[in-house]
Amino acid sequence: MTDPHDAITAPNADAATGAAARTGSHPRHGLDEVIHAPVRFSIVATLAAAEKAEFAFVRNTVEVSDSVLSRQVATLEKAGYVAVTKGYVGKRPRTWLALTADGRAVFADHCRALRAIAGAGEG
């Protein structure tokens, strides 16, 4: 009978690799639960490409309604990843969104983890 723990490591894996696999070193542990949701990930990715973006631009880019974007931005803001600024252009109210320094760092880490996970399946 085979020990179920033997399935943790590949047949030719060294002991260090097996130990690492059991202690939580899989790249998925680098994923951020807040930005992992598809809409929030899309928002953060859009904001990562600019210093700031107008609410309507992000809404149109991510292809969601105002209410969906508002809810998702509120979650990102509460986590400290997005800053919301309100102001006017002429007499029209506008809302701008920007990633915070923490938001940029978490997004970069999240993308590294995704690349590591995707790369593990190649080769």
Residue 68 lies in a domain: yes
Mean pLDDT computed over every residue of the chain? 86
Measure the CA–CA gap between 99 and 75, rounded to whole angstroms: 13
Q: What is the pLDDT of residue 5?
A: 44
Q: Is residue 49 part of a domain?
A: yes
Specify if 108 maps to a domain: yes
Sign of the C-alpha dihedral computed for residues 12, 18, 20 and 24 taken in this order: positive
pLDDT confidence of residue 68: 99
94 located within any domain: yes
- Determine the structural domain holding residue 33 and report its residue range: 28-120
Instruction: Count how many domains the chain has.
Output: 1
Domain annotation covers residue 75: yes
Q: What is the pLDDT of residue 24?
A: 72
122: left (phi over 0), alpha (psi -120 to 50) or beta: beta
40 class by beta-carbon count within 10 Å (0-12 exposed, 13-18 middle, 19+ buried): buried
Percent of the chain with pLDDT over 70: 79
Phi, psi dihedral angles at 5 (to 5 degrees): -75, -20
Low-confidence ranges of the chain (pLDDT < 70): 1-23, 122-123
Task: List phi, psi (to 5°) of 119.
Answer: -70, -25
CATH of the domain at 113: 1.10.10.10
* Residue among 52, 48, 123, 47 nearest 94 (CA): 52
Q: Is residue 21 part of a domain?
A: no
Segments in 13-123 forming alpha helices (H):
15-22, 33-36, 38-48, 55-62, 66-78, 101-120
Q: What is the pTM (predicted TM-score) of this model?
A: 0.77
Residue 46: inside a domain, yes or no?
Answer: yes
In a domain, 66, yes or no: yes
